[in-house]
Amino acid sequence: MHTSLPDFDMPNEEQVHLAAESFRLLSDPTRIKILWALLQGESSVACLAELADAAPTAVSQHLAKLRLAGLVKGRREGTFVYYRAADEHVRRLLTEGLYHADHFDRADQPSAAGRRSS
Protein backbone atom coordinates (compact mmCIF):
# COMPACT_ATOMS: atom_id res chain seq x y z
CA MET A 1 0.00 0.00 0.00
CA HIS A 2 0.92 3.65 -0.18
CA THR A 3 1.78 3.78 3.51
CA SER A 4 4.73 1.50 2.86
CA LEU A 5 6.33 4.18 0.68
CA PRO A 6 9.13 5.92 2.61
CA ASP A 7 8.01 9.51 1.93
CA PHE A 8 4.25 8.92 1.94
CA ASP A 9 2.37 11.68 3.71
CA MET A 10 -1.31 12.63 3.80
CA PRO A 11 -2.59 16.08 4.79
CA ASN A 12 -4.53 16.27 8.05
CA GLU A 13 -8.32 16.68 8.11
CA GLU A 14 -8.19 20.43 8.80
CA GLN A 15 -5.84 21.03 5.87
CA VAL A 16 -8.08 19.00 3.57
CA HIS A 17 -11.20 20.87 4.72
CA LEU A 18 -9.61 24.32 4.33
CA ALA A 19 -8.17 23.48 0.91
CA ALA A 20 -11.54 22.16 -0.26
CA GLU A 21 -13.21 25.35 0.95
CA SER A 22 -10.68 27.49 -0.95
CA PHE A 23 -11.20 25.45 -4.11
CA ARG A 24 -14.97 25.72 -3.68
CA LEU A 25 -14.70 29.51 -3.51
CA LEU A 26 -12.48 29.50 -6.59
CA SER A 27 -15.07 27.54 -8.57
CA ASP A 28 -16.95 30.70 -9.54
CA PRO A 29 -15.85 32.46 -12.78
CA THR A 30 -16.59 35.93 -11.38
CA ARG A 31 -14.40 35.24 -8.35
CA ILE A 32 -11.58 34.10 -10.60
CA LYS A 33 -11.86 37.34 -12.58
CA ILE A 34 -11.91 39.39 -9.38
CA LEU A 35 -8.87 37.62 -7.96
CA TRP A 36 -6.97 37.88 -11.24
CA ALA A 37 -7.64 41.62 -11.34
CA LEU A 38 -6.48 41.96 -7.73
CA LEU A 39 -3.25 40.16 -8.58
CA GLN A 40 -2.54 43.07 -10.95
CA GLY A 41 -2.95 45.56 -8.11
CA GLU A 42 -5.21 47.02 -5.48
CA SER A 43 -8.73 47.92 -6.61
CA SER A 44 -12.12 49.22 -5.50
CA VAL A 45 -15.45 47.39 -5.81
CA ALA A 46 -16.57 49.68 -8.64
CA CYS A 47 -13.44 49.02 -10.69
CA LEU A 48 -13.62 45.27 -10.03
CA ALA A 49 -17.29 45.24 -11.05
CA GLU A 50 -16.38 46.80 -14.37
CA LEU A 51 -13.45 44.42 -14.94
CA ALA A 52 -15.50 41.33 -14.02
CA ASP A 53 -18.58 42.54 -15.91
CA ALA A 54 -20.68 42.11 -12.77
CA ALA A 55 -22.89 44.26 -10.57
CA PRO A 56 -21.08 46.06 -7.72
CA THR A 57 -23.37 44.42 -5.16
CA ALA A 58 -22.45 40.96 -6.49
CA VAL A 59 -18.75 41.84 -6.44
CA SER A 60 -19.09 43.03 -2.82
CA GLN A 61 -20.66 39.71 -1.86
CA HIS A 62 -17.91 37.77 -3.64
CA LEU A 63 -15.23 39.88 -1.94
CA ALA A 64 -16.77 39.26 1.48
CA LYS A 65 -16.56 35.50 0.96
CA LEU A 66 -13.03 35.70 -0.45
CA ARG A 67 -11.97 37.85 2.50
CA LEU A 68 -13.42 35.40 5.03
CA ALA A 69 -11.47 32.61 3.30
CA GLY A 70 -8.27 34.64 3.58
CA LEU A 71 -7.87 35.02 -0.20
CA VAL A 72 -8.22 38.82 -0.27
CA LYS A 73 -7.52 41.69 2.12
CA GLY A 74 -9.14 45.10 2.31
CA ARG A 75 -7.86 48.53 3.25
CA ARG A 76 -10.25 51.33 4.17
CA GLU A 77 -9.55 54.83 2.93
CA GLY A 78 -12.32 57.22 3.90
CA THR A 79 -15.58 55.75 2.64
CA PHE A 80 -13.84 53.43 0.16
CA VAL A 81 -12.35 49.99 0.65
CA TYR A 82 -9.51 48.93 -1.61
CA TYR A 83 -8.90 45.22 -2.03
CA ARG A 84 -5.82 43.19 -2.91
CA ALA A 85 -4.95 39.52 -3.19
CA ALA A 86 -3.92 38.21 0.22
CA ASP A 87 -0.53 36.81 -0.71
CA GLU A 88 1.63 34.99 -3.23
CA HIS A 89 -0.26 31.73 -2.57
CA VAL A 90 -3.31 33.20 -4.29
CA ARG A 91 -1.21 34.01 -7.36
CA ARG A 92 0.13 30.45 -7.50
CA LEU A 93 -3.35 28.92 -7.07
CA LEU A 94 -4.82 30.98 -9.89
CA THR A 95 -1.82 30.68 -12.16
CA GLU A 96 -1.77 26.89 -11.83
CA GLY A 97 -5.54 26.64 -12.33
CA LEU A 98 -5.44 28.79 -15.47
CA TYR A 99 -2.36 26.93 -16.74
CA HIS A 100 -4.20 23.64 -16.25
CA ALA A 101 -7.22 25.03 -18.13
CA ASP A 102 -4.95 26.00 -21.04
CA HIS A 103 -3.36 22.55 -21.16
CA PHE A 104 -6.39 20.38 -20.42
CA ASP A 105 -6.81 18.00 -23.33
CA ARG A 106 -10.54 17.74 -23.92
CA ALA A 107 -9.91 15.13 -26.59
CA ASP A 108 -9.04 12.65 -23.82
CA GLN A 109 -12.36 13.22 -22.02
CA PRO A 110 -15.58 11.32 -22.61
CA SER A 111 -18.17 13.28 -24.55
CA ALA A 112 -20.90 15.08 -22.62
CA ALA A 113 -23.46 12.68 -24.09
CA GLY A 114 -21.50 9.69 -22.83
CA ARG A 115 -21.20 10.93 -19.24
CA ARG A 116 -23.61 9.82 -16.57
CA SER A 117 -25.25 12.52 -14.47
CA SER A 118 -24.55 12.35 -10.78
Which tens digit of pLDDT belongs to each residue from 16-55? 998 898 889 889 999 999 999 999 999 999 999 999 999 9
Q: Which of the four pLDDT bands, split at 50, 70 and 90, describes residue 1?
A: low
- Give the global pTM: 0.78
- Classified by CATH at the fold level, domain 28-100 comes out as Arc Repressor Mutant, subunit A (1.10.10)
Closest CA to 34 of 80, 74, 97, 84: 84
Sorted by where each begins, the domain ranges of the chain are 28-100
pLDDT tens string 87-99: 999 999 999 989 9
pLDDT for 109: 66
Q: Rounded to whole angstroms, how far apart are CA atoms 25 and 61?
A: 12
pLDDT for 103: 84
Q: What percent of the chain has pLDDT over 90?
A: 64
Answer yes or no: is pLDDT of 117 > 70: no
